[in-house]
């Protein structure tokens, strides 16, 4: 009898333990075990957070210390930057590789091969304006050109920065101040070339060579011109051909190569000719006795061209670039024919001869930019020609 009671108590105890386990009730020993596990987990989390804090502190201070001790290069991928700085540098390296990569067998980079990233140049810049066309139903031919404006100065550039100082030698000798204003901006990579400009001639003195049946050389001071615009084009064979080697001197061409060019352009032209300032003798050659001619218009369109660099001897480069353009032209109401929609046709042509000898380089550059206004009543071509002589040194 006693034995059966003992067995019953043991059975009830086992059943109670099972029910406690099923309902989540913990025994004192189990509770202590869980508390010990929780404490251990907190210690591990604290240790991990401490390690992360130490690593973050190392990143925040270690990369600065390494740069000051060992020097810095933006292309060094072994430096552990903070997350945002690292993202910025990765983006730059990607863009630099994508938009400024060349095949080194065709194009050299002095900044990489010799570490010479800066250039100082002595420059002689000369430009000439030329105007020609037909007035009044193409009956009367007219031709004018300006004197050559010659500037002397120097330029320092490198790492995307540039400083230029030029003086007008002719005006300096004559004791006059220059009245022509010219601003120019250019940006080039292996794939893309962008150029923007602004030019204004307030009181230009020109030479009139042709007016109707008259020919000679007469001083004419009744022309004013304002122009601004930009060209942007893509260089298709960008791994083998460098536009910068011929016109910016930041690269050098090792082998002959050429490339198709295609892009967009926009320009604004405003040319005013006040023929009332002509002598009475020359006024007789004007068609219909009209004395006020103004060609004011705005262009938008596409340009397609080709550039080729010929390396005919070691250290010598000859480049020629030809890029005609076509598009839409809007003539303003105060223009000679009033408000009109016309076909736009323009021309950009360049030529360069560059000699590289070690860190020294010498160059002759010629640039021609022409805008042709044509309709049933008039034809007028105004152009800007610029030629430079450059002697430079990389350091």
Of the candidates 364, 382, 305, which has an alpha carbon nearest to the alpha carbon of residue 133? 382
Cα–Cα distance for residue pair 324/299, rounded to 1 Å? 13
Report the C-alpha gap between 235 and 238 in whole angstroms: 5
Query: Looking at residue 49, what is its pLDDT?
Result: 45
Per-residue pLDDT tens for 126-148? Answer: 989 999 999 888 888 999 998 88
Average pLDDT for residues 377-393, to the nearest whole number?
94
pLDDT for the residue numbered 97: 73
Q: Give the pLDDT confidence of 148-206 residue by residue, as tens digits.
A: 888 899 999 876 677 788 787 766 555 555 566 778 888 888 999 999 999 988 766 78
Range from 97-111, 145-159, 289-303 that averages highest in pLDDT: 289-303
Is residue 222 within 8 A of residue 211, CB to CB? The reply is no
Report the half-sphere exposure of 255 (CA within 13 A, side-chain side). Answer: 8
Q: What is the pLDDT of residue 18?
A: 43
Phi-psi region for residue 285, left (φ > 0), alpha (ψ -120 to 50) or beta? alpha
The CA distance from 342 to 129, in Å, is: 24
Tell me if 171 sits within 8 A of 177, measured CB to CB: yes
Segment among 86-100, 195-209, 301-315, 344-358 with least mean pLDDT: 86-100
**Whether pLDDT at 265 is above 70:** yes
The residues that bridge with 239 in the sheet, in sequence order, are none
User: 345 pLDDT exceeds 50?
Assistant: yes
* 46, pLDDT greater than 50: no
Q: Say whether pLDDT at 331 is over 90.
A: yes
Tokens of 360: 């020294």
How far, CA to CA in Å, does 254 sit from each of 110, 347, 354, 364?
A: 12, 29, 12, 18
For the stretch 350-370, pLDDT in tens is 999 999 998 999 999 999 999
**Largest separation between any pair of C-alpha atoms in the chain:** 153
Query: What's the confidence (pLDDT) of residue 380?
Result: 95
User: Going along the chain, which residue ranges are E strands?
Assistant: 107-108, 118-135, 140-146, 149-158, 161-168, 180-188, 192-211, 214-235, 252-253, 257-274, 292-313, 316-331, 340-357, 360-374, 379-394
CA-CA distance, 147 to 161, in Å (whole number)? 32
Of residues 262 and 54, the one with the higher pLDDT is: 262
pLDDT exceeds 60 at position 20 = no
Cα(45)–Cα(38) distance, rounded to whole angstroms?
11
159-168 CB contacts, 8 Å cutoff, 24+ apart: 159/117, 159/118, 164/123, 166/123, 166/125
> Across 60-64, 145-149, 343-347, which has the greatest mean pLDDT?
343-347
Q: 49-60, pLDDT tens digit by residue?
A: 444 443 444 445
Contact 188, 248 (CB under 8 A): yes
Read off the pLDDT of each residue in 238-266 and give the average, rounded to a whole number: 94
Alpha-carbon distance 302 to 263, whole Å? 6
> Cβ distance 318 to 352 under 8 Å?
yes
Give the pLDDT score at 116. 78
Instruction: Write down the pTM of the prediction.
Output: 0.76
pLDDT of residue 137: 83
**CB-based contacts of 95, cutoff 8 Å, min separation 6:** none
Average pLDDT rounded to a whole number, residues 343-354:
96
- Per-residue pLDDT at 41: 45
Taking a C-beta distance cutoff of 8 angstroms, is the pair 100, 75 a contact?
no
Looking at every residue in the chain, the average pLDDT score rounds to 81
């Amino acid at each position: 009898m006693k034995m059966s009671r003992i067995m019953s108590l043991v059975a009830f105890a086992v059943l109670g333990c099972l029910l406690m386990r099923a309902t989540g009730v913990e025994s004192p020993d189990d509770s202590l075990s869980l508390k010990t596990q929780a404490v251990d987990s907190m210690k591990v989390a604290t240790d991990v957070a401490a390690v992360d804090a130490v690593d973050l502190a190392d990143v925040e201070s270690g990369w600065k210390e390494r740069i000051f001790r060992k020097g810095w290069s933006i292309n060094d991928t072994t430096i552990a930057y903070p997350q945002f700085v690292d993202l910025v540098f990765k983006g730059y390296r990607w863009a630099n590789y994508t938009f400024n990569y060349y095949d080194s067998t065709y194009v050299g980079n002095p900044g990489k091969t010799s570490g010479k990233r800066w250039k100082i140049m002595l420059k002689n810049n000369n430009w000439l304006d030329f105007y020609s066309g037909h007035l009044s139903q193409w009956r009367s031919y007219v031709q004018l050109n300006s004197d050559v404006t010659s500037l002397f100065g120097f330029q320092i550039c490198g790492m995307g920065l540039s400083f230029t100082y030029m003086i007008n030698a002719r005006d300096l000798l004559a004791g006059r101040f220059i009245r022509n204003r010219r601003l120019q901006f250019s940006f080039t990579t292996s794939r893309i070339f962008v150029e923007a400009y602004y030019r204004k001639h307030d009181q230009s003195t020109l030479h009139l060579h042709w007016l109707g049946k008259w020919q000679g050389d007469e001083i004419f001071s009744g022309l004013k011109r304002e122009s601004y615009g930009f060209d942007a084009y893509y260089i298709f064979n960008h791994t083998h051909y460098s536009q910068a080697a011929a016109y910016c001197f930041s690269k050098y061409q090792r082998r002959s190569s050429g490339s198709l060019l295609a892009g967009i352009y926009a320009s604004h032209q405003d040319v005013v000719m006040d023929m009332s300032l002509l002598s009475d003798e020359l006024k007789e050659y004007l068609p219909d006795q009209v004395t006020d001619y103004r060609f004011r218009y705005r262009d938008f369109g596409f340009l397609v061209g080709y550039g080729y660099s010929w390396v005919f001897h070691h250290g010598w480069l000859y480049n020629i670039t030809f890029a005609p353009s076509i598009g839409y032209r809007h003539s303003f109401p105060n223009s000679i024919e009033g408000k009109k929609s016309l076909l736009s046709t323009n021309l950009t042509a360049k030529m360069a001869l560059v000699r590289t000898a070690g860190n020294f380089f010498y160059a002759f550059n010629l640039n021609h930019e022409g805008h042709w206004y044509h309709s049933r009543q008039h034809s007028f071509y105004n152009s800007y020609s610029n030629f430079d002589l450059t002697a430079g040194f990389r350091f």
